[in-house]
Amino acid sequence: MSVRVGTCSWADESLSKLWYPPGVGSAEARLRWYAEHFDTVEVNSSYYALPTEEMATAWAQRTPPGFVFHVKAFGMMTRHPVRVEQLPPDMRSEAEFDERGRIDRPSRELRSAVFRRFLRAIEPLREAGKLGGVLMQLPQYVVFKPSSFAYLEWAREQLTDHHMLVEFRHRSWLTDEHHEQTLAFLEQLPATYVIVDAPRVTSDNVAPTVVARTSDTAYLRLHGRNAATWNSRGGGAAKRFDHLYSRDELAEWVGPLRELAGSAREVFAMFNNNGRSTDVNGNPFAQAPANAAQLLELLKDS
């Protein structure tokens, strides 16, 4: 069964402090060490600031042939508000921002320019044959309605021929009433639907888990199942995604991943549970790479 497994960052704090061995401290050394253990990764830093061609060139050089990077879209590309200082200096004069320095409603021209800058930056990955998809993770307030469909159509045009991955954060897209229309829409775009493993709750900001694919790629993101902290005030991502999957929870995915691998060209399972746990001896460890390695073992044994 051919399933690529990785984590949703190689530079997350829990990995940096707990997973890399002593002496693996530089950015270059960490990515090289990561690539010895997994053959795919998500670039998470690109959500907070536009990457550069120099960055992408370095990433390509530090990883072996066949390694695959999926790059998370910059916040403005997915209708998240961004702070003006998150933009490159030469683009800031084009931005209108509020008294808090936030760009909430950028002009279509500025947003389009951001898409172009983003794609130019990741071109070295594509030239190296190491670019997977551009992850368009929509915020929870982008709901199932005509204007949201229209935005995704526009974004599809901006991405040109790049592989578009779409993750929904509002459950309206994947209710029993709407999920067939949502999946058909993505298939037509075309774009890859991102399957989500998250807490089994009915909050509007948690998309239900619907196992499906809309392209020849199947893509699963595992956010953890910590229902208690998902909507806790002031917790942020660190608490929301703080969950160590049990062996039984991971085993639930062996069958669906096997079925997806039987028909898809490629299958990815990416761990975003970015917290830390302790072993039986009280030693802390990073959850995401531990669970990723465990899932690989389960898939190998199945």
pLDDT at 200: 87
What is the chain's Cα-based Rg? Answer: 19
pLDDT at 136: 98
User: Three-state SS for 259?
Assistant: helix
pLDDT at 297: 97
User: Three-state SS for 301?
Assistant: helix
pLDDT at 1: 55
Tokens of 260: 């997806």
pLDDT at 170: 96
90: burial class by Cβ within 10 Å (0-12, 13-18, 19+)? exposed
Could you identify the residue written with the tokens 């073992």? 297
pTM: 0.95
C-alpha–C-alpha distance, residues 183 and 212, integer Å: 8
Tokens of 157: 């045009």
pLDDT at 235: 62
pLDDT at 91: 95
52: burial class by Cβ within 10 Å (0-12, 13-18, 19+)? middle
pLDDT at 211: 97
pLDDT digits 0-9 by tens, 263-300: 999 999 999 998 888 887 888 899 999 999 999 999 99
For residue 242, which of 287, 175, 179, 192 has the smallest C-alpha distance?
287
pLDDT at 71: 98
pLDDT at 234: 65
pLDDT at 274: 82
For helices 254-261 and 287-301, what crossing angle results, to 10°? 70
Question: Low-confidence residues of the chain, pLDDT below 50?
Answer: none
Q: Which domains does the chain have, with CATH numbers?
A: 4-301 (3.20.20.410)
pLDDT at 230: 79
